[in-house]
Structure 1
Amino acid sequence: QHRATLPHAAWLLLLPALLPWAIAGRRMRLPAACAVGFLWAALYGGWLLHPSLDPALEGRDLRLAGCIVGLPQAHGRAVRFLLRVQRRLRPAAGAPPPRRIRLTWYRGAPELRAGDCWRLTVRLKRPHGFQNAGGFDYEGWLFRNGIGATGYVRRHPAAVRTGSHRTLDRLRQDLAQRMDAALGPRPFNGILRALALGDRRAIPRAQRAVLKATGTAHLVAISGLHIGLVAGFALYAIGALWRVSGAAGLWPAPRAAALAALAAAFGYALLAGLSLPTRRALIMLAVALGALLCGRAVTPARALCLALLAVLIWDPTAVLSAGLWLSFGAVAVILYAGAGGLARHGWRAWTGIQWRIALGLLPVLVIWFQQAGLLAPLANLLAVPWIGLVVVPLTLVGTASIALHLSLGAYLLGLAGHAVALLWPFLEWVAARPGTQWVQAAPPPWTWGPAALGTLLLLAPRGVPGRWLGFLYLVPMLAWTPPAPPPGELWFTLLDVGQGLAAVVRTHDHVLVYDTGPRFGPDFDTGAAVLVPYLRSRGIRRVDRLVVSHGDNDHIGGAASLLERFPAADILSSVPARLPPGAEPCRRGRHWRWDGVEFRILHPGRKGAARGNDASCVLRVTGAAGAVLLTGDIEAPAERILLSDVPRDLRARVLVVPHHGSRSSSTPAFLAAVRPELALFPVGYRNRFHFPNPGVIARYRAAGVRMLDTAAEGAITVRMAPGARGLRVSTRRRSVRRYWHWRAPPVRARE
């Protein structure tokens, strides 16, 4: 799954020949099984990618017929939903569209219900997301969910509803609406909806933060714990009733109970929408209960391995999900640590399990998220039984009841909400403890093996010699510190935030952030989604100075989220009133020196002389190997001021192109004064402003300037080392390319 390209289709012809060796072979069984797994994963990946959207159809009006799947979700005045495409109506010729697409219907959307079929006019684009170190791989998420394009609904020609089907998703949507009507506006409705229907999108951002900080977010994601609880209730209840009824003589009670447990788990998984984590949990349970139904004795370890094999056969891309590693890892830790002499009864045993799970999953959490909750065992000690034994049963029975008796269902769901409310102050208290999060830079792969070995040693049964050595094996991962620039050297990273700007300048012992990218809504901005994960992945624990060039959303939108997690020592901006108290205006003449690197504000000059885009803070950063010029959104008037007032200070090897490459900036005189070797365009893929302007691209090309843009390259890092012949440039999309990543045409190919 880490390949940049899929193997040639001809290799798949070996699959039928290798399969018998993998199943029944003796000497060559293991290598044959590995080869079969590799080829099956390639075949599955190719199936998910086909058919892809023809690039020639991007941005064009397409008339499609399809039906809504999943639960539509309102975002302010817009509604987002998945459409299973049946056929393309116009243009009729050409390659078929993707099977499933993700659409947004802006303003005036009718009531959208799962199972409804529509004829829609849409504009689509290929899957494309931010690409930054430490960030979420949105393209990978779309790929794993079989979504081949994203886009929006056009108003003309008008949409036409052509029919409707009673689907499972329609039932889930009806239940969600009944839950909302029964509960009214209550604080924990989103959590109850997540537990009942597997839809976590309604959980408020503040509650998600508490769940993440306490390590209890897994409790509201229907997975092995929830499926296992439902199956356990059914197993116990049906087994007892079967024995009491005397039916054990007809069929053994354990088998009847196992069949009922499997049916109950399957019903709950259907209610949760059969999401990927739910399917994994159901497969795990089916393997264990299947052995019981067949009357075969299977050890827990063997059952776990068979379940893992079944999950990977069903979905080879599951290895790309942290949930797979956490769910199977937790069970493996319990089984392995159980051999070490856990206390057999009561809270002592439960406490031991929680701490062992926390220790066993520590390397997984650091690898995937670069952080781990140090008090997560304490939070889970109380939250797991309370949610599992109190909240989940009340929620499920209440959800089932509202379909029959609204008042009874509302009462039970209200009790479930009160139960969550009783637990919540404890979780907030845990989340508020200082130092509860272990934050760690992304560890290199060579530390993973020693960390796994160290964990095995620490969890080994009592009596195994040298268990304490496990701490030493964990040290390389937990003490890993990424390299920093030597004195006099600067590292500059232009982050991929779509249509916006965010950049990080690093010296030997200091960090400056220039702009923070856009805010897309109350629950999503690039400060939290891009900047914070990037800084953590690089082992950065503080921001020494934040410069916000001006007040446009695509530059200031992520500032609040960044400052919430990385309080800056000081802040400079042309709009200090829109930032926290203590922010100061940026003015020409302000300069400072960090670790042999000089920082100088070149613009704005006199107070009130420039407004709007032309008031952007222009920053020049000069190291021993040259300078970087960050220009914000200045346009031609501000460029003329700079040429008039500080012409000698404009020379720079690297230029962040003014105003994303708009035609109102990058004048020939300004470009001649800067004389950059490398021009960086911070632009979004297929942005509505059509940046960069073709004339601007031609201007840079005529000047012989190398051009890179974030839409095609992802995050761009430039290392300017003294004595180096050229700039050391690396781009995220080139360094971590995966076969499902779509690389847009680079800016140098557009004109």
Structure 2
Amino acid sequence: MAIISVLDVGHGNCTVIQDAQNVIIDAGFGDGLLNFLQQARITRIDQIMVSHADSDHLRGLIALLSLATISIGKLYLNTDSTRSANTDKFWKDVIFLIEDAIINNRMDENPVELYRTGALIDIGEFKLEVVYPTYSLIKTGPGGISPDGHSMSSNGLSAVIKVLTTQVSALLLPGDVDEFGLEQIKKLGFNIEAQVAVFPHHGGNADTNNLADFTTHFCQLVSPNTVLFSTGRGKYGTPRMEIVSTIKALLPLAYISCTQLSKSCAKLPPLASNSHLNAAFAKGKSNNSCCGGTFELNVTNATVTIVPKAAHESFVNTYVPLAVCRIYPN
């Protein structure tokens, strides 16, 4: 059975799909992705998609590209004119490591841009759809002006990717899409509904003055029954309470979880083992900071099963009674 893993890499986004092809969508920050791949004994990555150039989505490529034991097929990576190899060390490192991987035959093809083509990418049981951005927007790029007069940021052009089968839209990976991106998706009539969504910006500041409105807009477009936050304990106060409370008000039956335990939920890590977590690598296991840890999504027919959902709910009910995903009224 093909497996989708939403990784606990701390404050960062990273998803690995093990199917007929191995696919990575965003690489997180640090060596969490590499640790996951080594534990899973994955040495061939057929496709890598990086939603945008923020370090918490991109920097994990540094460890990956540095290893001669891992080969890569195709890399989708949007350039960002607001970043320079002279001023952005991580961007510079990634660019030079990509070149080294190509020269030394560890990458099959030159990187290509990531934008909506209208075609599905078949990777086995799953298909990938790059819903956004459009070709014209990505060619204008961060720092440019959209046709309707808006100044565009890297977040506004963050790739939004769906993982689906012939029966179900299983997972939405929106990167750090902001209100501008959501408005473009709505205006152009693109469908981003999915059963499971990783919330943008790790549940933090979404380049907006009104997080409740942004959350409402996102939930209305996606209609998920599960919302996951890829968080690092103690980082930026994520997920923000107004985001969680808005989700609970709009989607009272939705399952909500974070990869790591927010300090808003528990000032100190609970005195509990990691027995509620699945066996996959999770960065928070080393210091007992996991909440849900790394999540595995199994898809059967039109049903998406989250592991460790039941064990995680029991953990929260027992050890984290003041978790923000539990105490807000529906």
User: TM-score, normalized by length of structure 1?
Assistant: 0.31
Work out the CA distance in 1 between the residues paired with 2:18 and 2:255: 23
Q: How does 1:454-465 map to 2 (within 5 A)?
A: none
2:120 matched residue in structure 1: 591
State the 1:491 CA deviation: 2.2
1:718 matched residue in structure 2: 297
CA contact (8 A) 1:492 1:719 kept: yes
1:510 matched residue in structure 2: 21
Letter in 2 for 1:652: A
CA contact (8 A) 2:43 2:71 kept: no
1:548 aligned residue (42, 50, 54): 50
Q: How does 1:311-710 map to 2 (within 5 A)?
A: 485=1, 490-507=2-19, 509-518=20-29, 525-526=30-31, 530-565=32-67, 566-575=70-79, 578=91, 579=95, 580-581=98-99, 582-589=110-117, 591-605=120-134, 606=136, 607-608=139-140, 609=146, 610-623=152-165, 624-647=167-190, 649-664=191-206, 666-687=214-235, 689-702=236-249, 703-704=251-252, 705-710=254-259
Work out the CA distance in 2 between the residues paired with 1:723 and 1:631: 21
2:271 matched residue in structure 1: none
Work out the CA distance in 2 between the residues paired with 1:633 and 1:686: 19
Work out the CA distance in 2 between the residues paired with 1:600 and 1:620: 5
Distance 1:584 1:618, change over 3 A: same
State the 1:629 CA deviation: 0.6
State the 1:591 CA deviation: 3.3
State the 1:539 CA deviation: 3.2
Distance 1:723 1:690, change over 3 A: closer
State the 1:745 CA deviation: 6.2
CA contact (8 A) 2:80 2:154 kept: no
Work out the CA distance in 1 between the residues paired with 2:157 and 2:50: 11
Per-residue Cα deviation, 1:665-715 (whole angstroms, up to 9, x for no partner): 64323311210011110111121x212111110111112221110012111
State the 1:593 CA deviation: 0.9
CA contact (8 A) 1:494 1:716 kept: yes
CA contact (8 A) 2:292 2:308 kept: no
Secondary structure of the structure 1 residue equivalent to 2:44 = coil
Letter in 2 for 1:583: P
1:727 and 2:305 matched: yes
Per-residue Cα deviation, 1:502-533 (whole angstroms, up to 9, x for no partner): 111222x1111111112xxxxxx22xxx2122
Work out the CA distance in 1 between the residues paired with 2:38 and 2:321: 27
State the 1:747 CA deviation: 4.7
Distance 1:745 1:513, change over 3 A: farther
Work out the CA distance in 1 between the residues paired with 2:309 and 2:40: 15
Q: Which runs of 5 or more residues in structure 2 are unaligned?
A: 82-90, 100-109, 141-145, 147-151, 261-290
Secondary structure of the structure 2 residue equivalent to 1:543 = strand
Distance 1:587 1:727, change over 3 A: same
Q: How does 1:16-35 map to 2 (within 5 A)?
A: none
Per-residue Cα deviation, 1:508-564 (whole angstroms, up to 9, x for no partner): x1111111112xxxxxx22xxx21221232232211111111111111111121123
Work out the CA distance in 1 between the residues paired with 2:22 and 2:10: 22
CA contact (8 A) 1:493 1:718 kept: yes
Distance 1:585 1:749, change over 3 A: same
CA contact (8 A) 2:229 2:258 kept: yes
Secondary structure of the structure 2 residue equivalent to 1:512 = strand
Letter in 2 for 1:604: P
Secondary structure of the structure 1 residue equivalent to 2:224 = coil
Work out the CA distance in 2 between the residues paired with 1:515 and 1:612: 14
Secondary structure of the structure 2 residue equivalent to 1:612 = coil
1:54 matched residue in structure 2: none
Q: Following TM superposition, where does structure 1 have runs of at least 4 consecutive aligned residues deviating by more than 6 angstroms? A: 742-745
1:748 and 2:325 matched: yes
Q: Which has the higher helix share?
A: 1
Distance 1:537 1:699, change over 3 A: same
Letter in 2 for 1:517: G
Per-residue Cα deviation, 1:68-105 (whole angstroms, up to 9, x for no partner): xxxxxxxxxxxxxxxxxxxxxxxxxxxxxxxxxxxxxx
Q: Percent identity?
A: 22
Letter in 2 for 1:717: E
Letter in 1 for 2:179: A
Distance 1:553 1:747, change over 3 A: farther
Work out the CA distance in 1 between the residues paired with 2:116 and 2:310: 34
Distance 1:732 1:552, change over 3 A: farther
Work out the CA distance in 2 between the residues paired with 1:627 and 1:568: 25
Secondary structure of the structure 2 residue equivalent to 1:651 = coil
Letter in 2 for 1:594: I
CA contact (8 A) 1:603 1:642 kept: yes
Aligned length: 245
CA contact (8 A) 1:493 1:715 kept: yes
State the 1:625 CA deviation: 3.9
Distance 1:576 1:536, change over 3 A: farther
Letter in 1 for 2:71: P
State the 1:653 CA deviation: 0.4
Q: Which runs of 5 or more residues in structure 1 are unaligned?
A: 1-484, 519-524
CA contact (8 A) 1:550 1:612 kept: yes
Which structure has more relative contact order (CA 8 Å, sep 6+)? It is 2
Secondary structure of the structure 2 residue equivalent to 1:613 = coil
Work out the CA distance in 1 between the residues paired with 2:241 and 2:307: 24
Work out the CA distance in 1 between the residues paired with 2:25 and 2:321: 25
Work out the CA distance in 1 between the residues paired with 2:38 and 2:201: 28
Letter in 2 for 1:655: A
Q: How does 1:228-247 map to 2 (within 5 A)?
A: none
Letter in 1 for 2:16: V
RMSD: 2.7
State the 1:613 CA deviation: 1.2
User: TM-score, normalized by length of structure 2?
Assistant: 0.67
Work out the CA distance in 1 between the residues paired with 2:310 and 2:112: 33
CA contact (8 A) 1:697 1:750 kept: no
